[in-house]
Chains A and B, each alone.
Chain A
Amino acid sequence: MHELAITQSMLDLVLKQAGEAEAGKVGKISLVIGEMTGVVPRSVGFYFEFLAKGTPAEGAALNFKVIPATARCRDCAKEFELGEFDWTCPHCQSNNIEIIGGKELFVESIEVE
C-alpha cells in the first residue's frame, strides 16, 4: 500500500545522486528492504516503471536484497529469525528479545553511465 510513496522517495533520491554524478542514465538500482517494513518488491517494481518514465532512471534494473526479521535474545545472546507466530528464543525460550534486523529501507548503490 505504501509502495507508491516509498518508490517516489526512492526515485527522488536516485535521481539526485545521479545528478550529482552528472550521469545521463541510471542502469541499475540496488535496494535493501527489511522484511518488517512490509514493502513488497514487486509493487515497488510496478510503481517504478511508470514513475521513472521520462527520467534518466527509466528502464533501470531494480535489485532487491531482502533482510529477514532477526532478533537477538537478551538472555542467552543467541541470534535467530523471528517465527511467524512465535517470538520466543528457540534456544532458551525467553521472550526477552531485541530486533536487530528487518527494519532496513535504503538505497545501497546505483550504477550510472
Chain B
Amino acid sequence: MEIKVVKDILGANDRIARKNRQLFDGNKVFVVNVMASPGAGKTSVIMETIKRLKGKTGVGVVEGDISSSLDAEAISKEDVPVVQINTGGECHLDANMTAIALGDLPLKDIDLLLIENVGNLVCPAEFALGEDIKVLISSTPEGDDKPFKYPLMFHEADVVLINKIDLLPYLKFDVDAFSKTIQGINRKVKIFPVSCTTGQGIEAWVSWLLERMGKS
C-alpha cells in the first residue's frame, strides 16, 4: 500500500523553531542567527557589535561550536550573558539545541540575542532556530565565488557582512560583482562591507540592526 506523505523532512525542527520564536516574541527578544565558514569572523563581528551596543540595548549571546568554549570565554569578557552549546559533532545548531540553551539565559533582560552558529556554509541554512534574521558573514580571503558554491546560504540570508575589507588591496575580490551576484537571487538582502580590525563599516551595520529592531 502506498501512502502519500508530502511532508518536509525538517518539519519537526521547524515546529520547535516556531515555539522558540513565540518565546522570543513573548520576551521581546530580537534574534539574529549568525552564520559563516570557520574563521570568517563570527566571534569578532559579535564582539564589535556588542561594544557598540553597550548601554543602548541588552545583548545576550549563544555560542555554537562542535567542541570547546573558547569563544564563549572571549565573549563573557564583554560582560554579557552567554551560553555555550557544544553540538558534539553536529555541524549546525538546530531548534532543539537552541531551546535547551534558552533555559540558561535571562531572556527578560535581553533585547538582542546573537546566536553564533557552527562554522559551516552548508548545513546551518537548513535548520531554523526561531530567529528574526539570518546574518551571513563572508570574508574577503574566502574568495568572491562563494555564492555559487553555497547558493542556499546566500539565498536565505537577510544580511551579508563582507568582512576583512581591510585586506582588499592584497586580494582579488570584486566587491561589486560579489554583491551583484547575491542581489540577483536575493532581493531582500542587505550587504555591508566591514572590517573588525579597522572598525570600518561596523557602525553602518549596527545602525541598520538597531533600526530593524525598532530601536533607532
Contacts and interface: CB of A to CB of B under 8 A. Distances in A.
Contact of A87 (B8, B13, B91, B148): B148
Contacts of B184: 87-88, 95-97
A96 B127 CA distance: 27
Interface string B90-114: 1110100000000000000000000
A55 interface: no
Interface string A1-33: 110111001101110011001010000000100
Nearest to B150: A38
Contacts of A12: 12
B9 A9 contact: yes
Contact of B5 (A85, A103, A107): A107
A6 B1 contact: no
B114 to A, nearest CB: 22
| Residue of B12, B150, B151 most packed against chain A (CB within 10 A) | B151
A38 B92 CA distance: 14
B5 A13 contact: yes
A57 interface: no
B7 A106 contact: yes
B70 interface: no
| Those 8 A-B pairs whose CB atoms lie nearest each other, nearest first | A2-B123, A95-B184, A107-B5, A1-B91, A36-B152, A10-B9, A38-B122, A85-B148
Interface residues of chain B: helix, strand, loop or mixed (majority): mixed
16 contacts: A2-B126, A2-B127, A5-B94, A5-B127, A6-B10, A13-B5, A13-B12, A21-B3, A37-B126, A38-B150, A88-B184, A96-B184, A98-B185, A108-B4, A110-B2, A112-B1
Interface string A79-113: 00010110110000001111100110111111111
Interface string B129-146: 000000000000000010
Interface of B: 1-13, 90-92, 94, 120, 122-123, 126-127, 145, 147-148, 150-152, 155, 180-181, 183-185
Interface residues of A, number: 41
Contact of B9 (A13, A69, A111, A113): A13
B148 to A, nearest CB: 5
A96 B1 CA distance: 45
B5 A111 contact: no
Nearest to A96: B184
Given A1-B123, A6-B126, 15 more contacts: A9-B10, A9-B13, A13-B7, A13-B11, A17-B3, A21-B3, A36-B155, A69-B151, A87-B184, A87-B185, A97-B184, A99-B185, A103-B152, A105-B8, A110-B2
Contacts of B3: 17-18, 21, 109-112
Contacts of A84: 148
A82 B151 contact: yes
